[in-house]
Amino acid sequence: MNLGMPRIGPGRELKHSVEGYWEGRVTAAHLIETARQHRADGWQTQTAAGIESVPNNDFSLYDHVLDTCCMVGAVPDRFGSGEPADQLDTYFALARGAQMPTGTLRPLEMTKWFDTNYHYLVPELGPETQFRLGSTKPIDEHAEARRLGIETRPVLVGPVSFLLLAKPTATGFSLLDLLPRLLPVYQQVLAQLSELGCEWVQLDEPLLVTDLSANERAAFVDAYSTLASSQRPRCLLATYFGQLGDNLELAAGLPVDGLHVDLVRGPEQLDPLLDRLPAGTVLSAGVVDGRNVWRNDLRHSLALLGPAQQRLGDRLWVGPSCSLQHVPHDLDLETDLDPRLRSRLAFARQKLDELVAIARGLTRGSDAIREALATSDKVAADRAGSGKTTARAVSAPSASRRAASPHQRRQAQRQTTPLPSLPTTTIGSFPQTTEIRRARQQHASGHLSDEDYGRFCEAEIERVIRAQESIGLDVLVHGEPERNDMVQYFAERLDGFAATRHGWVQSYGTRYVRPPILYGDVTRGGPMTIRWMVYAQSLTTSPVKGMLTGPVTILEWSFVRDDQPRADTCRQIAWAIRVEVADLESAGIRIIQVDEPALREGMPLRRQDRDGYLDWATECFRLATAGVSDGTQVHTHMCYAEFGDIIDAIIALDADVISIEAARSGMGVLTQLSKSNHLADVGPGVWDIHSPTVPSAEEMATLIEQALDALPVDRVWVNPDCGLKTRRWEEVLPALTNMVAAARSVRERLVADVIPEGDLHF
């Protein structure tokens, strides 16, 4: 069985038609036809591979949680009635917002889908929410597959997870209060599927692998008892992204016909489940990794599932750990990869063959899959024998601590890099213009020589430096014209990483990413950023800040080897970054920013695992940065609205300056930081760069004054709340000019306040 296929198409067909529709180049009919063709290809591919239970409704034009909102009619009032005539436009307006005669229509918020790099749209639910059957997508697509002669299993987000993944529109509102109103819509969908003769339906409840309150557990019992009491197909309850843990008894006791569990992340739950699963219930064993790109060790899977097969017989299903939407489509497209590495990989298409091989091996014996098993054994031996950790992966407490206190360092840094109070800077990137992207593409395709591309980047750097000088910023950046992506750029330059050509996975909507594959020991072969930084600094007497991506973010945004602990792999990356930091310092760069935007998203789903993660994650950041002298200033940047649960980790980074998103959250994070024993400087973002409006100097001065309510003046920096690569120069120039004016006006006000009138001798 399979839990879901990649939705984007092997050649990113979905992106092209959806974006074409938004731009008016593609008609609605054409978009719908592309989607239909894509679904048909997916079902046929799976059937041809020998998958017996094929999922349906795993496809989405944008996001499956948004699809669920539409199915249950949970569309906020501001989007109107969503009459059939404009359903497609309402759908995309929910996802992306829209320009209306009355103003801008705000889309649903977006957030991370558990601990993946996929983002879902957050349902907005409150006391006013009424549910109704708003879309029959799962029913229609079930019928669509049947017309092709394929019986499919519709996949729905389960009702409890749907509610708990939502955002309450009123403070204090309990989302679970909506369960009695929501369940009738699910009953309606299930009844209609049942009438069509649909045999199995899958309800996804990934919340079952997280910490649940007593209320939340009770909601699962209520919901599934109610659904069991009315007409419906047989129900497979699917959990993934972790083990059930203390929810195992709860999940095994729910009145469903099958239970899917993630045996990649939680193999130890298999035995207790075999003991507790009611007679007649199907166990769907997720043994093929849906979150990573490594080939399955078939012999290992057969050994793991052998005893289950003996006890359950045909009540044992073999599946991927989760939907395959989190891995690239087809390895066959990767013709440039090193053959030895390639032999170790499996993308979605190859994972289907693995599922079939495991099921066949279990039911017919290993002789039935002799060839597949031989290949798998060979790869397993090759991986085991390929030089384990030879690079330094060890934890080194002395290397991950700066000797001097934050206070001593501040004194030393004032000598090395004297700055005015409320120093102004930016987060690092400047607009990635069409010309920059074009030059990069020409360089990648060989149409622009290394020398010419180098000269092009230098010209861009000079433009960015001159612009910052004329605006009057205090700490400059080189603008990052040479970076294609903050992780890919480094992965392409570090040993131990490989890049794919077509390995796209959906991040959200039509935004896809191509995560690098970290397959071996990570070391720095040579300098990665030094050339550009030295060039930028040679152009100006103002300090230029060096820009690097941190080890945790490089780890989180890559497909990572699974033959050693993630912490060890992260330490290797940290050592490699540390060498680059040392080279920057020797080259005269005395302010170095190391960004860790993924620190928070790497957090384990279970509270009990979080401290362990944060310990090694912050240690890795320090390992990368703590080798510098006292006078070299380490910056980092964070851009998430919720800081509460990682405030201690931010402090544990031991950076000298932290720039943070604060423009939207109204400086609230500063209060949290000032209440803690945090001693570093803070640069609260005073310009929300995600908003298209250019803020005035007065607005930004007000935000600086708010920051000064929480922190002493000698610890506050002035900066935008994120990098500027997505903005246009026409916005960047006036906004930064206003920002510098705001900092200056507050400085003048402070001087006037401190020195009594009459004593001024200017």
Contact 423/475 with Cβ under 8 angstroms? yes
DSSP type of residue 386: S
User: Minimum Å distance from CB 148 to Zn ion?
Assistant: 45
Near Zn ion by CB under 5 A, which window of 524-532, 574-582, 631-639, 706-714?
631-639
Exactly one of 300, 407, 690, 761 is catalytic; name it. 690
Name the residue nearer to Zn ion (CB basis): 453 or 489: 489
User: Minimum Å distance from CB 488 to Zn ion?
Assistant: 17
Name the residue nearer to Zn ion (CB basis): 236 or 669: 669
Near Zn ion by CB under 5 A, which window of 30-38, 105-113, 332-340, 636-644?
636-644
Contact 113/63 with Cβ under 8 angstroms? no
User: Minimum Å distance from CB 646 to Zn ion?
Assistant: 15
Name the residue nearer to Zn ion (CB basis): 260 or 600: 600
User: Minimum Å distance from CB 595 to Zn ion?
Assistant: 8
State whether residue 542 is helix, strand or coil: coil
Site for Zn ion in 704-733 (CB under 5 A): 722
User: Minimum Å distance from CB 354 to Zn ion?
Assistant: 38
User: Minimum Å distance from CB 325 to Zn ion?
Assistant: 26
CA separation for the pair 224, 250 (Å, rounded): 11
Name the residue nearer to Zn ion (CB basis): 639 or 743: 639
User: Minimum Å distance from CB 640 to Zn ion?
Assistant: 8
Contact 61/34 with Cβ under 8 angstroms? no
State whether residue 429 is helix, strand or coil: strand
Contact 694/735 with Cβ under 8 angstroms? yes
Q: How many residues bind Zn ion (CB under 5 A)?
A: 2
Burial of 439 (0-12, 13-18, 19+ CB in 10 A): buried
Strand partners, 716: 682
Name the residue nearer to Zn ion (CB basis): 464 or 722: 722
Name the residue nearer to Zn ion (CB basis): 476 or 639: 639
* Cα atoms in the Cβ-side hemisphere of radius 13 Å centred on 230: 16
User: 212-226: b or e for each residue (b if 16 or more CB lie within 10 Å)?
Assistant: beeebbebbebbbeb
Name the residue nearer to Zn ion (CB basis): 620 or 639: 639
Name the residue nearer to Zn ion (CB basis): 125 or 722: 722
User: Minimum Å distance from CB 597 to Zn ion?
Assistant: 6
Near Zn ion by CB under 5 A, which window of 40-48, 243-251, 345-353, 634-642?
634-642
591-630 mask for Zn ion (x: CB under 5 A)? ----------------------------------------
Name the residue nearer to Zn ion (CB basis): 205 or 721: 721
Strand partners, 476: 544
Question: What would the two tokens of residue 405 be?
Answer: 């206190």
Cβ-proximal residues to 485 (8 Å cutoff; 6+ apart), any chain: 513
Q: HEC string of 46-77?
A: HHHHCCCCEEECCCCCCCHHHHHHHHCCCCCH
Q: Which of 323, 252, 262 is nearest to 65 (CA)?
A: 323
State whether residue 395 is helix, strand or coil: coil
User: Minimum Å distance from CB 721 to Zn ion?
Assistant: 7
CA 702 to chain centre: 33
Q: Answer yes or no whether residue 476 interacts with Zn ion by CB under 5 A.
A: no
Near Zn ion by CB under 5 A, which window of 115-123, 300-308, 576-584, 637-645?
637-645
The verdict on whether 690 is a catalytic residue reads yes
Q: Answer yes or no whether residue 639 interacts with Zn ion by CB under 5 A.
A: yes
First to last CA, the chain: 79
CA separation for the pair 64, 61 (Å, rounded): 8
Nearest residue to Zn ion by CB is: 639
Q: Taking each helix axis as running N to C, give the angle between helix 530-538 and helix 566-586, from 0 to 180 degrees, rounded to the nearest 10.
A: 30
Contact 206/4 with Cβ under 8 angstroms? no
Contacting residues toward Zn ion, per CB under 5 A: 639, 722
Residues with a known catalytic role: 690
